[in-house]
Chain A
Amino acid sequence: MFTIFIKTIILYALIVFGLRIMGKRQLGELQPSEFVVTILVSNIATLPIEDVDIPLLAGILPILTLVCFEVMMSTLSLKSRRARKIISGSPKIVIRDGAIDQKQLKELRFSIDDLMEELRQNSVFDITDVAFAVVETTGKLSVYQKFEARNVTSKMLNLPSAGEETAPPMVVISDGVLIPGSLEYCNLRPEWLQKTLKEKNLAQKEVFLMTCNRQADFHLVKKERRA
């Protein structure tokens, strides 16, 4: 049993290391080659864990080989456009000016239901509103709406930009603990924090969450007392 325990820990560390080498991607955003590697790695890792008769190296070597090969292929596809096309494929336009390219849909084996579902996920409910819809190499649909169907933007309304002040709020205190660097991000001093907490009659450890932006607009959530 100890063998299984140790093998599991080693393989866990190895897979985490392997995925770190492969880079940060969400499952839905994986390229076909990355998807294949992910499935294979998860499958191979279980073999030496389940079967004590299989040497640990028989699990480690294929996992590392797959990860390294994937890194090499992704580097190659980064350097060469042709390699990128072979490994990852190319994006395909499925809707042009509101008209569905049925041939392309058939080639992609995309049903009309799939297309409509993807459009709805992009907040598009009417195909005629679509100027371009592109199936990306990850299988996701990117939609470019016609001008009249697009959301109004500040650019369209010629609104002036707020510049750096539009930086999002940051967590300053989480579960009573001050997040390092958060006050510097907000251009605030620790004295400001102490004064603010004093005004609210709160100690730092009584704060569940405090967020703040660069205009010193803050939001405080007090810790709930345990019953």
Chain B
Amino acid sequence: MKRFYTAIVIMAFILGVCSYSLILFRTTKTQMVQKLDAIQTAVAAQTDSGEVQAMCAEYAELWNEKEKHLIRFIRHPQLDDITAQSAELQYLAMDDGYSHLLAAIARIRINLDRVGGAEVFFG
């Protein structure tokens, strides 16, 4: 029975790690989506491009910080895509038209949804 109880404890630990990774990703995703929404609103309101650039830089910095934790639980290529796209944002914000910036934001949203989808079992 000792082995059985050890297995139960390990199983509980595994479920704990799974839940923690899911909560960590969901919290991160919510924060990142809020930042992206704010950038999109600023673009729509035709805010000064310098301010949009600063918002994008802030977004990229926050993502890099969060990625360090997520990398322990999620496959790296999925996160690398988002990191690369996040790094581009502040430079795309320098363009007169924001179409490329908005396209990059849309790509990041899709990638975030994909990573989130892979974390939850849908069959």
Whole-angstrom distance between the alpha carbons of A65 and B3 in the complex? 14
Structural contact, A75 and B72, CB atoms closer than 8 A: no
- Contacts of A23 on B, CB cut-off 8 Å? 3
Main secondary structure of the interface of B (DSSP, over half): helix
Contact of B10 among A56, A57, A64 (CB under 8 A): A64
- Contacts of B17 on A, CB cut-off 8 Å? 57, 61
Whole-angstrom distance between the alpha carbons of A226 and B87 in the complex? 67
Given contacts A64-B14, A65-B14, contact A72 B7 (CB under 8 A): yes
Contact of A55 among B4, B6, B14, B71 (CB under 8 A): B71
Given contacts A68-B7, A68-B10, A72-B7, contact A61 B75 (CB under 8 A): no
Bitwise, A89-125 to B at CB < 8 A (1) or not (0) is 0000000000000000000000000000000000000
Report how many A-B pairs have Cβ atoms within 8 Å: 51
Q: Which residues between 43 and 87 of chain A lie within 8 Å of chain B, taking CB atoms?
A: 52-58, 61, 64-65, 67-69, 71-72, 75
- Contacts of B77 on A, CB cut-off 8 Å? 53
Q: How many A residues, CB 8 Å from partner?
A: 18
Q: Can you list 10 pairs linking A and B with CB atoms under 8 Å apart?
A: A21-B3, A21-B7, A52-B76, A55-B71, A57-B17, A57-B21, A61-B17, A65-B14, A69-B7, A75-B4
Which of B's residues lie within 8 Å of A, judged by CB? Answer: 1, 3-4, 6-8, 10-11, 14, 17-18, 21, 71-77
